[in-house]
Amino acid sequence: MSTQSSVAEIPVSQAAKASEGIHTDTTAKYFLISAVAYFFIVGIIALIIAAKFVWPQMLGTVSYLTYGRLRPLHVNGMLFGWLLACDMGLIYYFVPRLCGVKLWSEKLGVATAMLWNFIILSAVVTLLLGLNQGLEYAELVVPLDVLVVVAWVMFGANIFMTIATRKYQQMYVSLWYVMGTILWTAFVYLTGNFAVLMATGVNQANLNWMYVHNAVGLIFTPAGLAIAYYFIPKSSNTPLYSHKLSMVGFWSLAFVYVWTGAHHMLHGPISQWLQTIAIVFSVMLLVPVWAVVYNFFATMKGQWHQLKDNVPLKFLMSGVVFYLLTCFQGPMHSLRAVNAIVSKTDWIPGHAHMAVLGAFSFFAIAGSLYILPRMFKTALYSDTLANWSFWFFMIGGLGFFVTLWLGGFWQGWQWNNPAIPFIDTVVALQPVWLVRFFSGIFMFIGIALYAYNVMATVLRVQSTPEAPPKAVAATV
Amino acid sequence: MYSGDYVYPSIYFAYFLFLIFLVGAIYFFLKSYRDGYWGEEGESIKYQVWADEEKPRQGDK
């Protein structure tokens, strides 16, 4: 694979040189490398379960490889093993830089990374053994839930102490989102993994769905936006359009998002007033979303040509478009009439994958491609490979999303027709699942190219004591 | 409510947590006004992204 000169290579400034030694980035490296490894491994699991939709007999009746065990492994592996770990790695990278100080404790950070990896590996073992609490997104056994809380406290303490010792009084919007992520995750995770165990029936479902929706809305959304707000100006070398508008987006997200979970149970046995509240707040989500998206688009005004050869920016701005689409779908899906058709159908995974893969994983991939050369003080192994991975993700992702949206509507209309036996609706969706499987192959090739690019960059540094001078990154 | 039924305590716990966060959010939202995030100088914060660099940026005054 030939290497091109990276667009990210810019002359090293004196100030950057002076502060080169401040940040060791050990924690960020641990989190990033392990996250990419899980992305690849869990990608294989994802392909297997996509194949099982089309060929249910595949892998026979080996209990460890049944759909019921692999699906929660895919969900937890992608959410906590890949995305959240990558987000944490990026946060460990940019928070000290935005504060103008070193990370409060690199040792605590490394310990957090070790504990996080232990949790993920334990999750793989326990889920394959069938130890599962049977709650969406909260499948992990209680001891692992407790360890997640411990790890999160370690992470939060490190980040908050870094922010507390910052050089600048006012905080850039990414820091607001990071602090929000840490606090909201604590609230959402405790409710969804502990309080939910004490409730039963509809009340339990209500708490569970508050957790599930807010796992995306109050954990991955603020973490993803923190990353986007930092890396879009950085990688395009263009100031954010408006910091005040970013504050509008942040505070409207803070006050609106938490009430939306109940829209997953419309037309169910929960009270009508709660359903109405969920709908109202879901529609109000358009405010923070459009504030954020307008800010990013306005930032890029006159700079769109940079997308031609700036791969991180390609991922970032595609992620912004997917974020806009996802967050238009969400409010529309929460309307009673639409919900009556698409709720519980395959439209939901189509929508959720566009959020978690199309928007937030794109942000995380972009951030990792941007910081990798800077952390390891070398050029990215291959910009061409990064570009290819982008297109595989994009084509595979679009095939996946669009197919499941259409399939989901089709499925919903069939379910609403009492004359059609349920099993016929399952058989009818096989062509949709076949397209999903082949789209999954494209996405997995994207993952494989991206992971290879990351590992090749890292391993080249390990084997090269002296990095080429031109490759030393400018930003620190 | 029979003994051992934790449905309502768990819901009260969740709403209590929510209340804490709501109060905290309102407090910090009001504090952000006092700290100058919405005033005339509010836009200068966006340049912190390049605080330790010297390279001029597009549109930089």
Q: Which of residues 214-273 of A touch B (CB under 8 A)?
A: 230, 233-234, 237-240, 242-244, 247, 251, 254-255, 258
Closest CA of chain B from A413, distance in Å: 35
Residue-level pLDDT at B9: 80
Check if A135 contacts B (Cβ < 8 Å).
no
B5-44 pLDDT, tens digit per residue, is 777 787 787 788 788 888 988 999 999 999 889 988 889 9
Which of B6, B17, B59 is facing A199, going by the closest CB pair? Answer: B6
Residue-level pLDDT at B41: 82
The residue of B10, B18, B38, B61 whose CB has the most chain A CBs within 10 angstroms, and thus the best one to mutate to test that interface, is: B10
Residue-level pLDDT at A1: 36
- Mean pLDDT along residues A342-357: 95
Closest CA of chain B from A469, distance in Å: 18
Check if B39 contacts A (Cβ < 8 Å).
no
Three-state SS for chain A is CCCCCCCCCCCCCHHHHHCCCCCCCHHHHHHHHHHHHHHHHHHHHHHHHHHHHHCCCCCCCCHHHCHHHHHHHHHHHHHHHHHHHHHHHHHHHHHHHHHCCCCCCHHHHHHHHHHHHHHHHHHHHHHHCCCCCCCCCCCCCHHHHHHHHHHHHHHHHHHHHHHHCCCCCCCCHHHHHHHHHHHHHHHHHHHHHHHHHHCCHHHHHHHHHHHHHHHHHHHHHHHHHHHHHHHHHHHHCCCCCCHHHHHHHHHHHHHHHHHCHHHHHCCCCCCHHHHHHHHHHHHHCHHHHHHHHHHHHHHCCCCHHHHHCCHHHHHHHHHHHHHHHHHHHHHHHCCHHHHHHHCCCCHHHHHHHHHHHHHHHHHHHHHHHHHHHHHHCCCCCCHHHHHHHHHHHHHHHHHHHHHHHHHHHHHHHHHCCCCCCHHHHHHHCHHHHHHHHHHHHHHHHHHHHHHHHHHHHHHHHHHCCCCCHHHCCCCC
A147-187 pLDDT, tens digit per residue, is 999 999 999 999 999 999 999 999 999 999 999 999 999 98
Specify burial of residue A9 (Cβ count, 10 A radius: 0-12, 13-18, 19+).
Answer: middle
Task: Give B53's pLDDT tier (boundaries 50, 70, 90).
Answer: low
Residue-level pLDDT at A384: 96
Residue reference for tokens 């058989």? A427
- In the DSSP assignment, the letter for residue B38 is S
- A180, A196 Cβ separation under 8 angstroms: no
Task: Give A465's pLDDT tier (boundaries 50, 70, 90).
Answer: low
Check if B43 contacts A (Cβ < 8 Å).
yes
